[in-house]
């Protein structure tokens, strides 16, 4: 079983809609969770960080973490064509140093 599982998509949403990206993980000791955005041909860039259960909001982005269910998600409100990218779910394992990346979900926002 992979440490981090994501639906590879592609996920398509119309402009202005809410995009919901989901991720599950296997290690209950995982401590911190990140969402990176990666445009085609570019390197990943951090957009959200969460380590406590519940929701964390930053502009149009909301990260949600449920450690009991080992589930983390990213909601993008009022989706824009510029949000079209691959989103990588990432976590730090229980050692505090090892990073685990999901394979990414490809999102397309249709104008």
Partner 1 sequence: DVKVTQSSRYLVKRTGEKVFLECVQDMDHENMFWYRQDPGLGLRLIYFSYDVKMKEKGDIPEGYSVSREKKERFSLILESASTNQTSMYLCASRPSRGIWPGYEQYFGPGTRLTVT
**Which residues lie near partner 1 (CB under 8 A)?**
8, 31-32, 34, 41-46, 49, 51, 88, 90, 92, 95-97, 99, 101-104
CB of 34 to partner 1, least distance (A): 6
80 close to 72: Cβ distance less than 8 angstroms: no
CB of 80 to partner 1, least distance (A): 23
Looking at the Cβ atoms of 47 and 79, the one nearer to partner 1 is: 47
Helix (H) / strand (E) element for 78: namely: none
CB of 97 to partner 1, least distance (A): 5
Which tokens belong to 13?
């949403």
71 close to 23: Cβ distance less than 8 angstroms: yes
CB of 26 to partner 1, least distance (A): 15
Looking at the Cβ atoms of 76 and 92, the one nearer to partner 1 is: 92
Looking at the Cβ atoms of 51 and 61, the one nearer to partner 1 is: 51
Report CA-CA distances (Å) from 86 to 27, 31, 68, 69, 93.
23, 23, 26, 24, 22
């Amino acid at each position: 079983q992979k440490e981090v599982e994501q639906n590879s998509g592609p996920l398509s949403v119309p402009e202005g809609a809410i995009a919901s990206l989901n991720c599950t993980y296997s290690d209950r000791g995982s401590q911190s969770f990140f969402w990176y955005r990666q445009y085609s041909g570019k390197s990943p860039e951090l957009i959200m960080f969460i380590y406590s259960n519940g929701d964390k909001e930053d502009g149009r982005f909301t990260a949600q973490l449920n450690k009991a269910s080992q589930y983390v998600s990213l909601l993008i409100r009022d989706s824009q064509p510029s949000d079209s990218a691959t989103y990588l779910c990432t976590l730090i394992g229980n050692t505090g140093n090892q990073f685990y990346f999901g394979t990414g979900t490809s999102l397309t926002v249709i104008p």
